[in-house]
Structure 1
């Protein structure tokens, strides 16, 4: 059996996680063009340093690179992370009805879309340190251990930030409903 080339291994181990990388980049940058640039830069770094990848979870490794690339770019630019919310970027259905909702009435579809918009706006309004942990856990469904590796913090801090982030999110959603 032939040994796969580094390029084949990269395609096999890293490329399946491109959507997760883009999702995290969207939540970090808060706009699609910057997220695309961030993922492109992160993928170049991942490919360049793939020889140093010693196995393990390719998804965690790639998301760590995306996050580090984001923060490195912010420091280099002297920029602060953007605070505007791009509704189209964070729309769950991209503006179209989700397949499981096609038989609902237009009123029900509108209510679901409005709910999604409110939740995503509240999530986008969270401070970055909480938002990234909530996104990695609740949207990307990563374990505490994986998040700790990506964010480079202890597991206890992950749990603390997640709890505080969820509490802030609930408060924001409660304020929206009031």
Structure 2
């Protein structure tokens, strides 16, 4: 599955990109804000991740900035099995923070999975000490559920409180089309 926006290309990762993925994640601030990413993130971690068989029900994408030459990997976004619905997760490399890439990528990824896989409700969350991610979710139309759940952070090696959100299909209707202006 692929998606294209005005600035980004979302596509599957390739094993040949393991060094680029390792370099993109070479900042502890990325790993500590995710549940599943180890720290330190080594080449072997990237190779293991990129060699996994893709799950057709829960796609993941590398986020490629296509406005620069050469193009450059600036993050990752994907879906995993959640408690009651598919769950969205993403990361952006720190030198690309503050440019709207997470919002743009998430809009495109959500549109793609809704179109291809029929996703209705989508869940997401952010660690309480990462409020910037909460602002991205709110821009996307996600609503707080009122629940804070402990989530294990592999990089921190402990449970961290996670603010939970949900996105119903009708909540995102006004935000998704703008992301697809390629």
How high is the TM-score relative to the length of structure 1? 0.30
Structure richer in strand, relative to its length = 2
